[in-house]
Structure 1
């Protein structure tokens, strides 16, 4: 038997699936890709912790991200309204990034998922190992 809270959640999930159109499907996948992308998650987290940050400051906080990947990630997050880019139109260039309200909400929703994944990482590894073993028999 499904507990009442889970039953309501499943009903809401079914309604969302039924209402989703093709256009919503690609949008959903692209936005969810930010949740599974370590650089996107790192940028969002860094901006929540640090407030307005410049490109170089974000790069230092992430450690290991290439300039090209960071620029690409920032553009995608800006496109989807999760961060705001402010160009101060100065020479030398002065551009700052900050988290939007939508970005903050996104972060707060994604943190529990990331925590759950890390808590169950060994379960996933074990399941994959068992699947691999069964498939090779």
Structure 2
């Protein structure tokens, strides 16, 4: 398993590596994961105003920017209904749902091991003080 992963990584082009890292950085930022999670929990498309209410602490401007990025990355679908006033809804794509599931597994792994990371940091601080 590990050898397959290392082989996969070593066979990536520099462009693939750069694009993958950029996607990871965008997806792992504070707001994208929260938005994906809210859309997943909703189980149905949400209007912008409902997202704004449910993503605690986000500004309208940042929500707009983040939704555009998620849409450009193919993780969210934006549907505009031609009515007065215009209605816009957002929902996860299958790719967005899959990404959320993969990231959630990594997130859980990290959270379950925070004490290990903290203990390692404490050991380093103690060694540095000696």
TM range (shorter): 0.7 to 0.9
Q: 1:34, 1:41 within 8 Å by CA — same for their partners in 2?
A: no
Instruction: Write out the 4+ residue segments of structure 1 that deviate beyond 6 Å after TM superposition.
Output: none
Per-residue deviation, residues 56-92 of structure 1 (Å, max 9, x unmatched): 2112111111222211211111111111111123332
1:121 equivalenced with 2:110 (yes/no): no
RMSD between aligned residues? 1.8
- Verify: 1:112 aligned to 2:102, yes or no: no
Q: How does 1:42-81 map to 2 (within 5 A)?
A: 42-50=34-42, 51-81=44-74
Structure 1: distance between partners of 2:69 and 2:26: 9
Is the aligned partner of 1:37 residue 2:29?
Answer: yes
CA distance in 2, matches of 1:77, 1:133: 43
Unaligned runs of 5+ in 1: 1-8
Question: Which of 84, 88, 92 is the equivalent residue of 2:81?
Answer: 88
How far the C-alpha of 1:16 sits from its partner, in A, is: 1.6
Change (3 A) 1:80 1:135: farther
When normalised by structure 2's length, the TM-score is: 0.86
Number of residue equivalences: 129
Q: Which runs of 5+ in 2 are unaligned?
A: none
